Amino acid sequence: MKGRTDNPQDRGCLVGISFFILGLGTLLPWNFFMTASLYFQGRLNTTEWSNGTVVIQKEYYFNNWMTLLSQLPLLLFTLLNSFLYQRISETLRIAGSLVFILLLFIFTAVLVKVPMEQEQFFSVTMATIWFINSFGAVVQGSLFGLVGQLPQRYSAIFMSGQGLAGTFAAIAMLLAIASEADSETAALGYFITPCVGTLITLFSYLLLPRLEFAQFFLNRSSNYEQGTADKLLKGSSAVENGKGNSHANGAASGGEASAGDPAESNADGTKQAFLSLEAAEQGQPKALVWDVFKKIWVMAFCVTFVFTVTLSVFPAVTVDVQTSYPGNWERFFVSVCCFLVFNVNDWLGRTVTTWIQWPRKESRLFPILVVSRIVFVPLLMLCNVQKRSYLPVYFSHDLVFTVIMSLFSLSSGYFVCLSMSYAPQLVEPKDAETAGALMTFFLALGLSIGASLSFPLRALV
């Protein structure tokens, strides 16, 4: 029986497009709630009068709490997903979570038209943020494991989609602000947009099993077990008995399993596939989690540190920067110079890693550059953040703030994507999934630490 000599092709780039949309969909919840901070602050900070005097309003610190309650469930449910992974099917975890996210977005859109007391609205919104990001964490963790089974460039495509989610949300907010509709109608249209986006994400996931290219990689291990186990057993038995035809049998079975690997010649691919599959048939175990961690700890530190720095000031500090040119521009300043600039450059930073990977994963310069990003924390705190109590304003001009934000976000996306891509390359192929799961945990850990630090850093300004 002759094995395949080539892999199926990603016709029309449908698999790549699907994973790009899936990446975008995983971060839609976080980005749409974050970008809508002006809407939420408007509902929470309304002025009330009593007997001709202004009633002192409670300070809700919405941006800080939103950031924290978005990232804590990401950390908790990333851990929980490690247990759900073996007990709940992938389809139920991903499709089921996307359905709940869709329902929560619909609820948020309906809430725009429902009058509520500020305290009640704050509590309901925080609960919605917690649950919507809990389901989002399950989706993200599951999809990282899924895309890890495909060639490496699909991981970059997936993360590029994640980077574009913020740009998508920022543009939606700009359109809502620029529209002539009243604030309620504009907010309603804004929150209907992620409902449509989540539906498209769900359809993209359900399309994957119907694409031959995705099937080839996602079902490869099960196909191997069904199609080559008997041949490998016969081949290894022949080797043990010293029969001369063992090499022929081994090459035939290995050729079927490894056909189409573009990175190796047919002969080398056959030999490597036979050896690796024979080892798997003999029950070679995966490395312990601690052993994998010892190989990727530098990358784990890097992704944690990058997100710690990023979330410590964005958006809790940066969203309160005010323009030095009051007027009509003031309505658009935060949406453009804070959210749009950040998300466009974060996406560019992630995307450029498709062509540039510097420093290399073995370089000591890599973690040094990651740590050097801490300089952005004081730089952003010294911009025109209002209200402020302690620090002076050194960078009041809009252009200076925009340049700092551009470099801040570009470096964030670049180093995150490199860290996540490098980690699986530092371990054996059989341990790549474990490395990916560990990196997802440390990514969530960095987000949570950064969100926690946003409270004291905002208070220091």
- CA–CA dist 106, 114 (Å, integer): 13
Specify whether 177 is located in the same domain as 291. no
Q: Are residues 198 and 231 in the same domain?
A: no
Task: Decide if 266 contacts 255 (C-beta within 8 A).
Answer: yes
| Among 24, 19, 360, 70, CA closest to 165 | 24
Please state the rounded mean pLDDT for residues 294-318: 96
The answer on pLDDT for 356 being more than 80 is yes
- Tally DSSP H helices, then E strands, for the chain: 19, 2
Three-state secondary-structure class, residue 96: helix
Task: Taking each helix axis as running N to C, give the angle between helix 62-87 and helix 28-35, from 0 to 180 degrees, rounded to the nearest 10.
Answer: 170
Residue 416 lies in a domain: yes
Which amino acid, one-letter code, is at 185?
T
Is the pLDDT at 38 greater than 90? The verdict is no
Which residues lie below 8 Å from residue 190, measured CB to CB, with a gap of 6+? 32, 36, 39, 172, 173, 176
Residues 240, 214 share a domain: no
Helix axes 118-147, 90-111, angle to 10 degrees: 150
Over residues 213-226, the mean pLDDT reads 65
Do 250 and 205 share a structural domain? no
Mean pLDDT over residues 101-125, rounded?
Answer: 93
Choose among 20, 108, 114: nearest CA to 66.
Answer: 108
Residue type present at position 460: L
If you compute the radius of gyration of the chain from its CA atoms, what whole number of angstroms results? 25
Whole-number pLDDT of residue 283 = 52
Q: Is residue 26 part of a domain?
A: yes
pLDDT digits (tens, 9 = 90+) for 323-348: 999 888 998 999 999 999 999 999 89
Q: Is residue 42 part of a domain?
A: yes
**313 and 248 within one domain:** no
Last residue of a domain, one of 218, 243, 267: 218
pLDDT at 282 over 80: no
Domain that residue 122 falls in: 12-218
Residues 391 and 294 in one domain: yes
Looking at the structure, tell me whether residues 321 and 269 fall in a common domain.
Answer: no
Tally of CB atoms within 10 A around 248: 12
C-alpha distances (whole Å) from 245 to each of 227, 254, 269, 278 are: 20, 14, 19, 16
Confidence class of residue 311 from pLDDT cuts 50, 70 and 90?
Answer: very high
Percent of the chain with pLDDT over 90: 43
Query: Is 4 contained in some domain?
Result: no
On whether residue 99 sits in a domain, the answer given is yes
Selected residue with higher pLDDT from 431 and 453:
453
Distances (CA, A) of 105 to 65, 110, 129, 131, 182: 19, 9, 10, 11, 20
- Residue pair 359/372 in contact (Cβ under 8 Å)? The answer is no
Residue 269 to residue 257: CA distance in whole angstroms: 9
298 and 338 together in one domain:
yes
The CATH number of residue 47's host domain is 1.20.1250.20
Q: Are residues 308 and 256 in the same domain?
A: no
Together in a domain, 239 and 169: no
**Torsions phi, psi of 167, nearest 5?**
-65, -40
How many domains does the chain contain in total? 3
